[in-house]
Amino acid sequence: MTRSSGVPLRVVSYNIHSQRDDAAALAAVVREAAPDVVIVQEGPRRFRWRQRCATLADAFGLVVAAGGLPALGNLLLTSLRVRVLATRDQRFPLTPGRHLRGAAYAECAVAGGARFTVAGSHLSTDPAERPAQAALFKRELDAAGTPVIAGADLNEGPDGPAWAAVARGLTDAAVAADRADRLTYSCADPRRRIDALFVDPRITVVDYDVVDTPLTRRASDHFPIVVDLLLPVTD
């Protein structure tokens, strides 16, 4: 980890297990982290999804930036410190007999002259279809006009082809912080690092943590990733 000048930003990437666990614990975990941006996997994506996304954001002390049903449960939330400039959602092609997957993107700005693109995705549990989804996600990341911050549940570890495809040309925040031994799944029996945060090489990783506490073990089946970054001044 190298400290340098830049605009600070705290990011959480979190698979919230479709809010099937302890909702109060989930809200407490995120509020304690005090993030500027939360990249959610398995967020609301069905009946009354807009209201449910807004309720979730309010429980976290944040606002909805992008995602929900159009991004198939990938949801981007921000604090009022972050200004959202543009958003888009993506759906990956459906493999018959499998679940639809997608991604959400938001171009953002923060005071101090920094702009960035935040993105989130949740790749398939099927190893046969993950690489194609990763390629589509990566194509959008490469097309971003500002430094990228990408959080994802990749459903495979760093030795997998989909992980390698997304990571290419980006910094794995866990590796940059020398904490790639921190496992993210499952809370009941941590054995794998399948959740990741990747950033543009121009972004400095100041700190990285996988939060394993009694509270996070009640909140979801994944541990949250909390990363402190310094963004380059782009304005």
pTM comes to 0.96
Q: What is the pLDDT of residues 66-104, one digit of tens each?
A: 999 999 999 999 999 999 999 999 999 988 767 889 999
Q: What is the pLDDT of residue 148?
A: 98
Low-confidence ranges of the chain (pLDDT < 70): 1-4, 97
State phi, psi for 55 to the nearest 5 degrees: -65, -40
Q: What is the pLDDT of residue 4?
A: 59
CB 10 within 8 A of CB 26: no
Report d(CA 216, CA 220) in Å as an integer. Answer: 7
For the chain, domain boundaries? 7-231
Q: What is the pLDDT of residue 2?
A: 41
CB 179 within 8 A of CB 209: yes
- Homologous superfamily of the 7-231 domain (CATH): Endonuclease/exonuclease/phosphatase (3.60.10.10)
